[in-house]
Amino acid sequence: MVRRFFFQGAVGECSILLSSLLLHGESSSSALLLRPPPRRSPPATTPRHGLLLRAPRAVHPPGRAPQRAPRRRVRRVGRGAFFRDYAERGTNAMLWAALLAVTWLLVLRVAALLRLWALGARLPGPPAFPADPGLAAVCRGAGYLSKLHGSYGPVVRLWLGPSQLLVSVKDSRVIKELLTKAEDKLPLTGKTYNLACGKLGLFISSFEKVKSRRESLKSFLDEKLSVGASGSSFKIIQIILDRIDSITARDFLDCRSFSQHMAFNVVGSALFGDAFFDWSDASAYEELMMTVAKDACFWASYAVSPFWKPDYRRYRTLCAQLKILTQGIVAKSRNQNGVLSLIDMSSCQRSERGIKDPCRGVSLLDGVISSRCLNEAAEGALSSEEEICGNIIGLMLHGISTCANLIGNILTRLALYANFQCQLHSEIVAGCHESSELKIDDVLRMKFLLATVCESARLLPAGPLLQRCSLQQDVSLNSSITIPAGAILVIPLHLVQMDASTWGNDACQFNPNRFLKKDINFEDILAAVHKGSNGINLFTEECDKTESFLPFGSGSRACVGQKFAVLGIAMLIASLLRSYELWIQPEQKQFCPAFNNLKKLYILCVYVEFDLLWAINLLEAAPSVELLFIDTWKHVCLVDQMDEEGRKGYLLRKNTSFMGDIRVYWH
């Protein structure tokens, strides 16, 4: 809004200046600038464009001999005039230069805008500038985009304003290409992360700036997995499971906070290594992190940071506290993990050696440091401590929210679908020996477990829209579609991952078996995992399905933590189901004879949902299930938990263009 306003204002201003320039020539246009007031003295005696070092001539009445001015005084007057003249000309020159620069920028913007309109008009979509639905409306519903796709085909454009073009793509063949070619993220994404994490080199808009860090982090994460397979990285799962009885002191397990806690511990221990296990500030850190994550997008959506608002200032204080705690654990991790204490910041080689040595208790933090060193080597630029801290907070925020979504969703589905829980339990029992510790290789053998993770991720992706943009260049697709630079590109994951034409008529139902049709074996999965894939792509038979399965994105900005997340979460679920059965409510009948010796874990279901209508349908379909709705997506914030009558519920607050709040209460 502010941008639009600025643009119009500036165009108006510029056109006045330009027209005065063109119509009246130099003298009248310079009147707009700092021209000295006309002098009263006769023009002949006061040189307008006189020699710079000449003193002004004295004026004398006709007939009288000119009196000589004292020499010293003439010199002073001459110097003053010279400097005044010089200052005026200098200022004018600067103003002219500024005017030309601003005009040039505006001309470029106008040209870009015209181009956007021209190229946007070629794409199918509703008439330009209808009643603006607002980005929130688009994000809220698969429903809105679904209607548009129904009417205009797999690629639809939608004007969100005169300078904001949204292009939604639903066709799986175009999606892959688009995700490879459009390499940047929306500026709002970068702003949100910057606000919550400070300066960082991951998750920001420009691909160029995140490229090298992504690569080094990915290779570290992949390596980490094989290191962690036998030891430290997943030790945390056992520690948490040992604590479950105290967590479930009440008669049910709040699935949402449980999932969040699990995700926090899995990602935290991977990032900080052993130092994380006995960190006394861990629970304060978790709480602070969730508070900061919740409102980041809301505050970032302001065009100008509202520093005059006390709430905003309070939010900034929380961010600062988060940073201090992060610095604390980073320092602890460096001291305790040993590897990092060996790192001499100027010696990249040494750190690389440390990280490649699987015997040491390395942490993800080493990877972040390592990427810093790689960058130093590659670009000569030094990433600051501040950036390392920002990257770590960013990874924690992203990793926790996404992993918590997926864990919560898997637990809920398994509690709801007793038959699948039973099938999974049998596979887990057959796949690991009674006493032995669970290994990554054991988990890779459990096809139904991996299929369950896939199916849950298919039905509930981390956000409703995969978003991209290309900041500098147009995106030309093979299907002769050209999407102009700067357009907001979205892939509505709901529509793609639940498309009946790809996934069958039961596309909206939970059925892990759909990922098991292909006859894959353990060796295939292992080979794929060692090559860097997460192995889950092997589960889909047809190409169409592989390309319509995008919970971790795809292409140049795809999630680098996908293999880590899939295998970590699979490991966690396997460990949990070895000892517990998941129940939705105490009255439920026992349904699986194999469960005889297991402890019961009553869980309060969570659907992390963003599309309210879809969620309400779910409520109607399964009225006995208690649902609560949270949303980690950028346009919805969870802000409240109790209404005036004391009913438990959640307030979904939409930012900017959303009209009002929606309250959803538990049954």
Binding site for ligand HEM (CB under 6 A): 179, 185, 202-203, 210, 214, 217, 267, 395, 398-399, 402-403, 406, 462, 466, 551-555, 557-561, 564-565
Q: Return the number of the residue (99 or 570) whose C-beta is nearest ligand HEM.
A: 570
* Closest CB to ligand HEM: residue number: 553
Q: DSSP string covering 501-540, please?
A: HHH-TTTTS--GGGG--S---HHHHHHHHHTT--SGGGG-
> Cα(652)–Cα(636) distance, rounded to whole angstroms?
6
Taking Cα atoms as reference points, which of 158, 154, 150, 155 lies closest to residue 126?
A: 158
Q: Return the number of the residue (143 or 555) whose C-beta is nearest ligand HEM.
A: 555
What Cα–Cα distance (Å) separates residue 565 from each residue in 221, 389, 535, 562?
Answer: 10, 21, 12, 5
Query: Which DSSP category does 380 fall into?
Result: S
Treating both helix axes as pointing N-terminal to C-terminal, what angle do 207-230 and 562-579 enclose, rounded to 10 degrees? 30
Q: How far is the CB of 498 from ligand HEM (least distance, A)?
A: 16
Q: How far is the CB of 401 from ligand HEM (least distance, A)?
A: 9
Q: How far is the CB of 331 from ligand HEM (least distance, A)?
A: 20
Q: Return the number of the residue (450 or 559) whose C-beta is nearest ligand HEM.
A: 559
> Per DSSP, what are the bridge partners of residue 157?
167
Q: How far is the CB of 269 from ligand HEM (least distance, A)?
A: 11
Beta-carbon contacts of 46 under 8 Å, excluding residues fewer than 6 positions away, are 39, 56
Q: How far is the CB of 183 from ligand HEM (least distance, A)?
A: 9
Burial of 142 (0-12, 13-18, 19+ CB in 10 A): buried
> Per DSSP, what are the bridge partners of residue 238?
none
Q: DSSP string covering 438-490, please?
A: P-HHHHHH-HHHHHHHHHHHHHS-SSSEEEEB-SSS-EEETTTEEE-TTPEEE
Q: Return the number of the residue (273 or 551) whose C-beta is nearest ligand HEM.
A: 551
- Could you count the other beta carbons within 10 Å of the beta carbon of residue 629? 26
Q: Return the number of the residue (373 or 567) whose C-beta is nearest ligand HEM.
A: 567
Fill in the amino acid letter for 455: E
Beta-carbon contacts of 493 under 8 Å, excluding residues fewer than 6 positions away, are 461, 463, 464, 465, 466, 550, 551
Q: Return the number of the residue (203 or 580) whose C-beta is nearest ligand HEM.
A: 203
Taking Cα atoms as reference points, which of 337, 331, 341, 392 lies closest to residue 362?
A: 337
Q: Return the number of the residue (123 or 266) whose C-beta is nearest ligand HEM.
A: 266
Query: Residues 265, 240: contact at Cβ < 8 Å?
Result: yes
Q: How far is the CB of 330 from ligand HEM (least distance, A)?
A: 15
Q: Return the number of the residue (29 or 194) whose C-beta is nearest ligand HEM.
A: 194
Query: Residues 551, 497: contact at Cβ < 8 Å?
Result: yes
Tokens representing residue 624 in the block: 């006995």
Q: How far is the CB of 445 from ligand HEM (least distance, A)?
A: 21
Q: How far is the CB of 160 from ligand HEM (least distance, A)?
A: 20
Q: How far is the CB of 546 from ligand HEM (least distance, A)?
A: 15
Q: Return the number of the residue (210 or 495) whose C-beta is nearest ligand HEM.
A: 210
Q: How far is the CB of 176 from ligand HEM (least distance, A)?
A: 11
Q: Return the number of the residue (402 or 655) whose C-beta is nearest ligand HEM.
A: 402
Q: Return the number of the residue (214 or 654) whose C-beta is nearest ligand HEM.
A: 214
559 is in an annotated binding site: yes
Beta-carbon contacts of 512 under 8 Å, excluding residues fewer than 6 positions away, are 420, 448, 451, 452, 454, 455
CA angle 621, 248, 651 (to 5 degrees): 50
CA angle 152, 155, 159 (to 5 degrees): 80
- Could you count the other beta carbons within 10 Å of the beta carbon of residue 633? 20
Query: Which DSSP category does 170 fall into?
Result: -
Q: How much is the CA Rg of the chain, to the nearest whole Å?
A: 32
Residues marked as binding for heme?
A: 559
